[in-house]
DNA sequence: CTGAAAGCGCTTACAG
DNA sequence: CTGAAAGCGCTTACAG
């Protein structure tokens, strides 16, 4: 490129990085270089750039599973938003496994990503805090870790679960159960708190009824849990996540439980499955685009400015009322 | 790393790249270096590696939309398979737009990917053939381009549509329509051919009835097309892709058309939507894992060996029969 | 068998 | 205002 234009590589670099003014490059020279670059469709070699300056205009994103509809959509929004800002993203799936997160993360850092967006797995506090000591900026998504000095973007999970539960109460359901994961992650804890608080506030403290199961084999264990809760007289269920909702719906079809006559249902996140289930399922919609854009913005800010201020963003969900929670 | 071990960087490089034998490095030295590397968890800098040797152990994958369930699953399988082989992948979404494909591709090449897996968009023959002139290996996925000398992995689309159509015929449907995209891409053309051939072979040539619409606004245009075909007496519909199927199902619910009594339905690819729709929808299942693994394998072969042989793989679909195509 | 050295394509102080 | 030069961390002929 430099030889084609007949100038030094330094000049090319200055101009193409918008530092022309700073280095007082003559207007005409800058124009000329820009033209040559455009003409030959010049693309600077990112590997060389990375090696010298540490910047690759590349970020890494680790979610539990990119094929899960919720994360698939988030990841898609991130792709679009990052690309608008000149960045490209790697996406990896942790399967809720801290070990795997670790290995994906080091493989990404190794490949020179400028920053990371991470959906932390259970017991990953140590991993995250060791990452914080490095110089790769990081933003947590979906699940803040309270005691760590790290930026995060997440739903107001407490409020979301509260509203969902209260909606069921208002529609005449009293014996309302919730199904969640038995994990310490903040998003789940907050949702459980929201459910409990809503029950309590409505004088239903004695009817609080939580079913738990493990992430692995969710399809199988969810059946058992629902079966038990249904048998114990539950009138409505709040499914604590997207995955739980899907697994639960499969079971409800299999078991032939009539919704909402025998059992009211509210889930999380939405998607085609919620619309096609018969009757359509009420759910808490997360503002996926906002979550994606905010996390990318905060990360890129941390990368481009040396501004180290921590930002924690909480966004509000929206209850999309469908037929599965009709008044009884 | 080299200074820590007290040997030259050359030795480290030889040993870590498994070239120890070739360069006749002493067994003990090799062992020793391996140990030090393991101990300090040494990760070679990929940017430097790329700059010097041209290899980054990174591939790029461009699909129409990573949030589409079909591609989300394929992409997930690719991630797992590639990572087993020490590779990491970038994923990008083209939105069926050749311009966008172009810009994603150059951004990826620019970032030093060793190879590309590409779901080609309509009219991208030129783009692909210009890519072929470069030295980045490339594998087409889902949609082979016949006249180009390029490896590809795809479903046997002709056969899949043939089997799906014949299934409807056997179950007593005669006036069977198909809905597809009005595009020249091979996968769609082959599916249309399969449908036509099956109709013809069963003496239903006169009832061949194809509805087309554009990729954009599929939800809106699909309603009109279905409405028209339904009004004209169609007894069953074959939805030509996953996206069409989903859009179609939304319309069937909205219009209150009873499936399969008023209209038999068969779709493509499957997913939760097909299971939760009431009644559950018959579909052609693509062997997603095989598609993903094959395409990664062929690409990595092309990258690692200088073997330039072109491989075209066609895999067979499987008809998953559910309630939407019950015998009438 | 091992080390010294060149060079991949950039960015960035430094000198003029 | 512009150019020459160092150096990022590797790989790879080359010399010994």
Instruction: Report the share of chain B in percent with pLDDT over 70.
Output: 98
pLDDT(A19) > 90: no
Helix, strand, coil percent content, chain A, rounded in steps of 5: 50, 15, 35
Beta bridge partners of A77: none
Of residues A188 and B21, more confidently modeled: A188
* Beta carbons of A112 and B45 less than 8 Å apart: yes
Minimum CA–CA partner of B87 in chain A: A107
Instruction: Count Cβ atoms below 10 Å from residue B45 Cβ, excluding itself.
Output: 14
Q: Which pair of tokens denotes residue B235?
A: 């007894």
Average pLDDT over residues A294-313: 89
Using an 8 Å Cβ cutoff, are A252 and A193 in contact? Answer: no
Per-residue pLDDT at B1: 67
Model confidence pLDDT, tens digit, residues B188-244 = 999 999 999 999 999 999 999 999 987 776 677 888 899 999 999 999 999 999 999
* Beta carbons of B73 and A67 less than 8 Å apart: yes
Burial label, A55 (beta-carbon count in 10 A; 0-12, 13-18, 19+): middle
CA distance A296 to B279: 41
Per-residue pLDDT at B105: 95
- Average pLDDT of the residues of chain B: 92
- Judged by average pLDDT, the poorest of A181-195, B27-41, B69-83, B139-153 is B27-41
pLDDT(A306) > 70: no
**Long-range pairs of A193-197 with CB within 8 A, sequence gap ≥ 24:** A193/A158, A193/A161, A194/A157, A194/A158, A194/A159, A194/A160, A194/A161, A194/A162, A194/A163, A194/A164, A194/A165, A195/A161, A195/A162, A195/A164, A195/A165, A195/A238, A197/A158, A197/A162
Model confidence pLDDT, tens digit, residues A23-77 = 777 888 888 888 888 888 788 888 898 888 888 999 999 999 999 999 999 999 9
Residue A175 distance to chain B (closest CA, Å): 26
pLDDT(A218) > 80: no
Per-residue pLDDT at B306: 66
Contact, A23 CB vs strand D, < 7 Å: yes
Contact, A246 CB vs strand C, < 7 Å: no
Q: What is the CA radius of gyration of chain A?
A: 25
- Judged by average pLDDT, the poorest of A119-128, A254-263, B31-40 is B31-40
CA distance B291 to B77: 9
Model confidence pLDDT, tens digit, residues A225-245 = 999 999 999 999 999 999 999
pLDDT(A1) > 70: no
Question: Least CB-CB distance to A72: which of B66, B104, B276?
Answer: B66
CA distance B265 to B285: 15
CA distance A204 to A222: 24
CA distance A303 to A307: 8
- Average pLDDT of the residues of chain A: 92
Give A88's contacts in chain B (Cβ within 8 Å): 90, 92, 107-108, 111
Strand pairing of B115-118 and B58-63? parallel
Per-residue pLDDT band for B34 (boundaries 50, 70, 90) equals confident
CA A8 to C1' C16 (Å) is 15
Question: Least CB-CB distance to A246: which of B75, B253, B272?
Answer: B272
DSSP annotation of B202: T
pLDDT(B268) > 90: yes
Q: Please choose, from the candidates B194, B230, B320, the residue with its C-alpha nearest in 3D space to the C-alpha of residue B266.
A: B320
pLDDT(A317) > 70: yes
CA distance B244 to B262: 19
Q: Please choose, from the candidates B88, B153, B87, the residue with its C-alpha nearest in 3D space to the C-alpha of residue B120.
A: B153
Per-residue pLDDT at B307: 64
pLDDT(A106) > 80: yes
Which nucleotide has the least CA–C1' distance to B13? D11
pLDDT(B3) > 80: no
Hey, what domains does chain B have and what are their CATH numbers? 2-43 (no CATH), 53-155+288-315 (3.40.50.2300), 157-286+319-325 (3.40.50.2300)
Per-residue pLDDT at A16: 82
Beta bridge partners of A175: none
State the DSSP string of A121-156: PTT-HHHHHHHHHSSS-EEEESS--TTS--EEEEE-
Average pLDDT over residues B74-88: 96
Work out whether the CA dihedral A177, A179, A180, A182 comes out positive or negative. Answer: positive
Give B92's contacts in chain A (Cβ within 8 Å): 79, 83, 88
CA distance A20 to B173: 71
Per-residue pLDDT at A5: 73
Instruction: Report the share of chain B in percent with pLDDT over 90.
Output: 74
Model confidence pLDDT, tens digit, residues B272-323 = 999 999 999 999 999 999 999 999 999 999 998 866 689 999 999 999 999 9
Chain B 162-181 residues whose Cβ is under 7 Å from strand C: none
Contacts of A30 (CB under 8 A, 6+ apart): A15, A20
Minimum CA–CA partner of A105 in chain B: B88
Minimum CA–CA partner of B245 in chain A: A272
Using an 8 Å Cβ cutoff, are B286 and B269 in contact? Answer: yes
Give B108's contacts in chain A (Cβ within 8 Å): 88
Model confidence pLDDT, tens digit, residues A255-301 = 999 999 999 999 999 999 999 999 999 999 999 999 999 999 999 99
- Judged by average pLDDT, the poorest of A68-82, B31-45, B113-127 is B31-45
Question: Which of A1-5, A7-11, B149-153 is the most confident on average?
Answer: B149-153
H or E element, residue A49: helix A46-53
Per-residue pLDDT at B318: 98
Per-residue pLDDT at B88: 94
Number of H helices, E strands in chain B: 13, 12
- Within A171-324, where are the H helices? 186-201, 218-231, 242-255, 272-276, 288-304
Chain A 53-92 residues whose Cβ is under 7 Å from strand C: 53
pLDDT(B173) > 90: yes
Per-residue pLDDT at A222: 84
| CA dihedral of residues A7, A13, A16, A18 (deg, nearest 10) | -120
pLDDT(A3) > 90: no
CA distance A5 to A11: 10
Average pLDDT over residues B29-53: 85
- Judged by average pLDDT, the poorest of A8-12, A86-90, A164-168, A188-192 is A8-12
* Beta carbons of A67 and B46 less than 8 Å apart: no
- List Cα–Cα distances, A254 to A228, A231, A325, B276, B321, in angstroms: 15, 16, 20, 11, 17
Size of interface A-B (CB pairs under 8 A): 129
Per-residue pLDDT at A307: 64
């Amino acid at each position: 490129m430099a030889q084609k234009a007949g100038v030094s590589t330094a000049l090319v670099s200055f101009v193409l990085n918008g530092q022309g003014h700073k280095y007082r490059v003559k207007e005409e020279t800058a124009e000329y270089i820009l033209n040559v670059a455009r003409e030959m469709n010049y693309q600077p070699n990112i590997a060389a750039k990375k090696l010298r300056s540490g910047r690759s205009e590349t970020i890494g994103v680790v979610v539990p599973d990119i094929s899960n509809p919720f994360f698939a959509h988030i990841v898609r929004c991130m792709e679009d938003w990052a690309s608008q800002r000149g960045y490209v993203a790697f996406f990896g799936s942790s399967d809720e496994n801290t070990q795997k997160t670790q290995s994906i993360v080091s493989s990404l850092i190794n490949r020179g990503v400028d920053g990371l967006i991470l959906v932390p797995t259970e017991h990953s506090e140590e991993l995250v805090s060791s990452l914080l000591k490095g110089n790769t900026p990081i933003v947590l998504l979906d699940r803040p870790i309270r005691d760590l000095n790290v930026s995060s973007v997440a739903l107001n999970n407490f409020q979301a679960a509260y509203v969902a539960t209260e909606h069921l109460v208002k529609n005449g359901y009293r014996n309302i159960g919730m199904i969640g994961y038995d994990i310490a992650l903040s998003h789940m804890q907050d949702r459980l708190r929201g459910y409990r608080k809503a029950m309590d506030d409505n004088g239903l403290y004695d009817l609080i009824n939580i079913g738990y199961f493990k992430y692995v084999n969710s399809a199988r264990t969810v059946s058992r849990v629902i079966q038990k809760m249904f048998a114990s007289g539950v009138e409505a269920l709040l499914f604590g996540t997207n995955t739980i909702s899907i697994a639960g719906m499969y079971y409800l079809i299999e078991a032939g439980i009539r919704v909402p006559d025998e059992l009211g249902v509210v889930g999380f996140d939405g998607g085609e499955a919620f619309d096609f289930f018969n009757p359509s399922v009420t759910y808490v919609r997360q503002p996926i685009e906002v979550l994606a854009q905010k996390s990318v913005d905060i990360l890129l800010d941390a990368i481009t400015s040396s501004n180290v201020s921590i930002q924690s963003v909480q966004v509000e969900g929206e209850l999309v009322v469908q037929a599965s929670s009709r008044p009884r």
